[in-house]
Amino acid sequence: MPNLIVMPKTFAFVSQAVNDADRFLIRSHVMRGKNSRVGSRRSMREAARQADKSLAPLTTDCGPRGAPRKCTETAPGSVDTKPGARRQDTLVTTYDSAKHAAFPLKYTIDFDEAEDSCVPWIFSNMAFAHSVFFATSATNDFRLGRPYTRPTLIHLRRTIRCLNAQLGEDGGHLDDSTVYTIVTLAMLATLVGDMAAVRAHMVGLRRIVELRGGECYLRQRSKQHFMLERMVRILRSLAILSCEPTDWRSAFTGPQAAFDEASLASVVAKMVDARLSTTFQDFQRLTRLINAYANEDGRLKGDVFQHVLASIQRRLLWLRFSQVDGWSERLRLGMLAYLTTTFQLSGRRISYDYLSARYRLSCQALGASTASADMRTLNAWLLVVGAMSVLEPSEPWLGAIWDEIAGLWGVWEDVQHQLESVLWIGNVQNEAGKIDIDSRGASGEQEYQGTLVKQDNGFLSKLRNIEAVMDRRLGVESEAITRKRPDEREPLTWRSQLTMCLLWASGTMNLSCFATGFLGYEFGLDLRQSILICLFASILGGAVSGFCATLGAATGLRQISCSRFSFGWYPNKIIAALNTIQQIGWSAVGCITGGIALQAVSNGTIPIAVGIIVIAVISLVVSLVGLKVILVYERYAWLVYLVIFLIVFGVTGQYADNTTPTALTGADLSGNVLSLIAIVYGSSASWATVASGECYGEALVGDIC
């Protein structure tokens, strides 16, 4: 550096002009320690680097973790640019929610805690981390009844690519995270019915397990064994795996437990195949062991649970009885349906079409006219399990048979006692079972969006039941007015923001809003006055709608729920009535302007009345398909509206009169100005009744609105 005189480390003198490289060195030296204030970008980057370094040498019970496995994909948290501890908390929270969301047995079975000590994998193993994000996003898509969204597909592709890279390394199959990642992919493939992917994953899993010691490896990891057995159950039900169980004897090797199982078990033994009877007794003993431990605030050991459950599952899947309404097949189907309750997702059921069809045929032949007390109990258990798992609780035949069988059981405690005498795990099934039983009580109460409401047998009640069936099967408005919690909100992207912008553009750029500005002429105002009133009144009304939209972001609620909490139960009814009148008025304006437009474009061949009817019918059909379809429509409708308005401006612009002043003066002028302001303001402020609901429908509450 000829132009730089280097002195002791704390000084640097410049004799004359320096080049860019030397200037950068000087500035770095001078500013050392100056840009390290708390919250600056440099300090945050340094904190993130230190956090990554602290995680690299971690060792857990799941095995030593060295440097992160290399992968060409970006880090799973790249969508969230906030580094440091906050990012780590987000990753851990996502992993925890994905791990526990669909596993009701987690509080009753004591799996090896070492298997849960895998949080560092999120930071050190890209395949596992992306699988966690994929699982969280995919289950949310499934719960909402929609196909995989873009974030879900991104994490799926990254998971597969990183997993392939990991398996290509020496010893990659020996990493426990590999098994967890593949099991996650296989289980989620079953949700969307991708059986080809399930087969591929299971073939790979079988090979990995064989290389790691086979059954000995699984016996040491009961939770992985449980997940793999669930996959085996699905594959065997599809005739993909068909090996016969090696032993039809009881899975319990010790002496019989000191439970009074004689009564119902003996009745079952007389009706069904001997192999199925032994399986039923094992299942009874297992559930009662779990309940006994739970009553003592304990948990059954995971290896015992998995050994017995795997034996029960294999026997149930191997047995097949041709007579669907016979007791052997009926009880087998009942126990299979009961097994499905050990893996469920909130908000939407997992579909088991074949099991549902056979179970329905089998249970429709049930009766209680001459049944003994034990048989009535068994029949009731079959109905409750079916309603909880593979049947629709609102099916009329189900309610009719239930009333005949369980008419003497008045309260839930009585029903629970009867169910526990068959197969029942209180900590897992009590809540769902109680809701189902209460919905069939004499009071006419039914579950609606997680709440018990009193229903009669009138026309509106029947419509609500139809809506509930559509929600469960088609996912139409499946969330209704359910609060959207922070962990259920989708990540913010530029595409999401653009979608919301276009949505509001389509909502406000329509003929009815356009026609509002024409009223200035009818009030006797000139063009300049009308334009100014439209601008400032729209800004004032839009501010009200914008403020109401922020309420949805803060609360996670649609606007109708916000007003319910703001005004209370009875005052909100007044607001609802006024809103109904307003919506009827604006619907009428929309239909009339649409009818006039149809008459205009048809050169008068379509009468106004016919045009109004056409617009009204089309609007009704669109409103029945749900908000999701409306949002898709409004995402692109603005472009059509814009073209139409540009054509209108081009055709009518030459007739604009900006020279003739208004003839109004005094009170007449003030009154008409205020009237037009009120109309334009009402046109914009009327969106306040649905403002946060629009954001809610886009699942972007708290990010955009």
Within a domain: 148: yes
Single residue among 218, 237, 256 that ends a domain in this structure: 237
Residues 438 and 291 in one domain: yes
Single residue among 397, 420, 442 that ends a domain in this structure: 442
Cβ atoms of 703 and 495 closer than 8 Å:
no
Highest mean pLDDT among 16-30, 498-512, 675-689: 675-689
Q: What is the pLDDT of residue 141?
A: 78
Within a domain: 138: yes
The span from the CA of 587 to the CA of 278, in Å, is 65
Q: What is the pLDDT of residue 671?
A: 93
Q: How confident is the model at residue 233 (pLDDT cuts 50, 70, 90)?
A: very low
pLDDT in tens, 236-282: 443 334 455 556 778 776 655 444 555 688 888 888 888 888 888 88
- Least confident segment among 125-139, 360-374, 651-665: 360-374
pLDDT in tens, 4-15: 444 444 444 555
Q: What percent of the chain has pLDDT over 90?
A: 6
Average pLDDT rounded to a whole number, residues 152-160: 87
Cβ atoms of 422 and 284 closer than 8 Å:
yes
The span from the CA of 572 to the CA of 577, in Å, is 9
Specify which residues 452 forms β-bridges with.
447
Phi and psi based region of residue 556 (left: phi greater than 0; alpha: psi -120 to 50; beta: remaining) = left
Within a domain: 23: no
What's the structural domain count of the chain?
3
Within a domain: 16: no
Q: What is the pLDDT of residue 669?
A: 92
H-only helix segments in 627-665: 627-652
Q: What percent of the chain has pLDDT over 70?
A: 62
Cβ atoms of 500 and 703 closer than 8 Å:
no
pLDDT in tens, 344-393: 655 566 777 788 888 888 888 776 555 677 888 888 888 888 888 888 77
Q: How confident is the model at residue 582 (pLDDT cuts 50, 70, 90)?
A: confident
Highest mean pLDDT among 140-149, 301-310, 454-463, 597-606: 597-606
Within a domain: 685: yes
- Least confident segment among 31-45, 54-68, 180-194, 683-697: 54-68
Residue 398 has pLDDT above 60, yes or no: yes
Decide which of 392 and 283 is more confident: 283
DSSP states along 552-618: HHHH---HHHHHHHHH-HHHHHHHHHHHHHHHHHHHHHHHHHHHHHHHHHTTT-S-HHHHHHHHHHH
Within a domain: 309: yes
pLDDT in tens, 413-463: 777 888 888 888 877 777 776 666 655 544 445 555 445 555 555 677 677
pLDDT in tens, 44-72: 555 445 444 433 333 333 333 334 444 44
Residue 397 has pLDDT above 70, yes or no: yes
Residues 312 and 168 in one domain: no
Highest mean pLDDT among 17-31, 480-494, 665-679: 665-679
Residues 299 and 399 in one domain: yes
pLDDT in tens, 22-47: 665 555 555 555 555 444 445 555 54
Residue 117 has pLDDT above 80, yes or no: no
Residues 339 and 416 in one domain: yes
Residues 516 and 382 in one domain: no
Residues 207 and 90 in one domain: yes
Long-range contacts of 539-544 (CB under 8 A, 24+ apart): 540/681, 540/684, 540/685, 541/680, 541/681, 541/682, 541/683, 541/684, 541/685, 541/686, 541/687, 542/684, 542/685, 542/687, 544/684, 544/685, 544/688
Q: What is the pLDDT of residue 200?
A: 81
Single residue among 198, 219, 237 that ends a domain in this structure: 237
* Tokens linked to 168: 């290509």
* Unique residue bearing structure tokens 């048809």: 602
Decide which of 539 and 206 is more confident: 539
Q: Which residues contact 612 (CB under 8 A, 6 or more apart)?
A: 591, 592, 594, 595
Within a domain: 461: no
Residue 612 has pLDDT above 90, yes or no: yes
Q: Which residues contact 458 (CB under 8 A, 6 or more apart)?
A: none
Residues 520 and 658 in one domain: yes
Tell me the whole-structure pTM to 2 decimals. 0.48
Residues 138 and 224 in one domain: yes
Within a domain: 611: no
Structural domain for 95, as ranges: 85-237
pLDDT in tens, 509-563: 877 777 788 888 889 999 889 999 999 999 999 898 888 888 877 777 777 778 7
Residues 678 and 562 in one domain: yes
Residues 351 and 216 in one domain: no
Q: Which of these, 236, 238, 390, lies nearest to 314 by C-alpha position?
A: 236
Q: What is the pLDDT of residue 183?
A: 79
pLDDT in tens, 322-339: 787 788 888 999 898 888
Residues 114 and 159 in one domain: yes
Q: What secondary structure letter does DSSP report for 114?
A: G
Residues 408 and 373 in one domain: yes
